[in-house]
Structure 1
Amino acid sequence: MFLMEDCKISECHKKNLLIVLGKLTINNYPSIILEHNHQLSAELKELMTTVINNLQICSQLKTRISKLQTEMNLLLQNDKIDNNRIQAYRESLNLKKEKLKHLHSDNYKQLAKIGERFFKKRLLDHDKKFQNVYSQLEDELTQNGCIKDSKTNYINKYINKVVNFLF
């Protein structure tokens, strides 16, 4: 369906595992909803829906950015350069890129939240992919302690790294 890619977002392996768990959830969304709907809270369903909607918007934004970039390049190659039009294209591109960057960081926040909720409730513990991530998280917690930092919520801590990673 969406097949989100694996990527390293944070220096903290536990945070990355929560994001992987969230990604697994989103990639298996149809079967999870069909088979385990009764186990999911309304809040968890809302988080999952938000990520899916954001992914669709990201895809649309990427397409628009590509089209705008192509149109702007054609304008720049034209003998009659319209500076006002080119400036309008640049402003539009910058706005769309900023929105895309914001959506990406929001998606990673949401994925970490989804992963955390699945981990806490051990939802889909019978699925081998989920079991593997649960085991890795349990090993991390055993070796290195709690996922959350005592002063700040871990989800907000790594967003700046997400932005740097994506662009």
Structure 2
Amino acid sequence: MPTLSSPPILPPITIRDSYQVLRTEYQKQQVEHTRVHEMEQSSLRGDFDALLQRNRSSDTLIEALQAHIASYEEQNRDLQVRLQACEERLESSEEANRRLQVCLQVCEEENRRSDACHWSAENDLQDSLDDKRGLHARLRAEESLLQGSSAETQQSEDALPW
């Protein structure tokens, strides 16, 4: 009978027993390896499906963005045409403004000449009125002289004896 201090006596291991143990261990490892592989494959499949979905979403987003870009490009072309038309109208307006400035200068010059003629005519009229007043005054003075001379003549005639 074995003592406590001595190691237990084990039955002898045969090659068949060793093979059986190794085979059982190999099958356990194979099962574990298959389980881990399936889990990894499932995880990878899920990741792949998620990436595929993201890729589809990205494709949809890219298509939407391309449609927006096309729309913006069309709007940009329209705005370029409108800008060109505005620039042409601006150039036309600037040319019309230059012509109006020339017309304004001509009108201002004609107005100055007209004012000068007006003042000259007014001065001539004033001179003419002054001359007329002077003539009226002379006529009245001569009339007065004539009346005075006529009264003297009348008195002289009245004084004559005949």
> Common fold, TM-score beyond 0.5?
no
Into which bin does the TM-score normalised by the smaller protein fall?
A: under 0.3
- Could you tell me the TM-score, scaled by structure 2's length? 0.26
- Greater RCO between the two (CA within 8 Å, min separation 6)? 1
Q: Which has the higher helix share?
A: 2
Greater C-alpha radius of gyration = 2
